[in-house]
Amino acid sequence: MLIRVMILAGVLLSGAAQAADIDSPLKQDIGKYRPLVIFARTSADPTLKTLKENLEEQTTQQRLKDRKMVLYTVEGLSGKRDGKNLEQPETMALIRGLSVGVINSTQVLVFGKDGQPVPLPADTHDLNIIFSAIDNLPAQEKEYSRPEDLVTPPDRAKKGKGETAVKASRPAKAPQPLDD
């Protein structure tokens, strides 16, 4: 009986550790897009319905693409990214990562390409205000790219004046076994 309890405890602990390792889906968008996140308690929220109707318009879709924005909606415990359903662990990681707490009314959050939240007036639900906040970002943020994209591997580095390209070296030989 003790062995069964120990096995069950081990399985539960490993499952909880794996669930905690899931990264927020926003991390994949840092450096590429500006996430627009809308949280609502239920899908019947009138503010959410109005925002969704406004976001489905063709001109609004074009404005989102022009500003390289991606739309996340979280209704209760179900989430979507640009209209595609997120898995439950990803949605929970998004909620935990943003620490929104108890949602009483629809909340709108906007993040820059650098992952920093864009300051918005309280209870902002007007898309024109959101777009103007994005347009007023500093030029450095508009040109931001991921740090990994800026690093070039040494074998692809361009030759400068008076320099030679770095040759790829052969792998080292395996060490000889010791004789005793």
pTM: 0.64
Query: Is residue 137 domain-resident?
Result: no
* Residue 95 scores a pLDDT above 60: yes
Q: What is the pLDDT of residues 41-66, one digit of tens each?
A: 888 888 888 888 888 899 989 988 98
Query: Is residue 26 domain-resident?
Result: yes
Query: Is residue 81 domain-resident?
Result: yes
Query: Is residue 13 domain-resident?
Result: no
Domain that holds residue 28: 22-127
Specify whether the CB–CB gap between 38 and 50 falls below 8 A: no
Alpha-carbon span 83 to 147, nearest angstrom: 28
Q: What is the pLDDT of residues 128-139, one digit of tens each?
A: 888 888 888 775
CATH number, domain containing residue 58? 3.40.30
Query: 115 is written with which tokens?
Result: 């992952």
Radius of gyration of the chain (CA): 24
Q: How many residues does the chain have?
A: 180
Query: Is residue 11 domain-resident?
Result: no
Query: Is residue 150 domain-resident?
Result: no
Query: Is residue 52 domain-resident?
Result: yes
Number of structural domains (the chain) is 1
27-31, 70-74, 108-112, 170-174: which range is least confident on average? Answer: 170-174
Phi-psi region of 31 (alpha: psi -120 to 50; beta: other; left: phi over 0): left
